[in-house]
Structure 1
Amino acid sequence: MIILGLVLLLIGLLASISILTTIGAILLVVGLVLNLVPIGGTRRRVY
């Protein structure tokens, strides 16, 4: 998702298409957030 966002962002900037730039930036941010935030049961349980 990060790579797709980066590609769309670059294509949007080079071709000056604003909708591709916006979608690329959104996908890049969402991909980075999902990469940094642990999803699922990653808490360690100590018994």
Structure 2
Amino acid sequence: MEQVFAKLKAFLCQASERTYDKLWQLIDKLLDQFHTDECLNLFRHSGYVST
């Protein structure tokens, strides 16, 4: 899970939104950057999914 938050944090730092509303709008858009295959790989790497 740390990897997901690290990626999200990096995106947020690059964008530098500072208001509450703009921040949540940005997070909504940024979540589209997390593709299904990538999320599954991160869960596997963390040990949450057996192969």
Place the TM-score, normalised by the shorter chain, in its bin. 0.3 to 0.5
Structure label with greater radius of gyration? 1
TM normalised by structure 2 equals 0.33
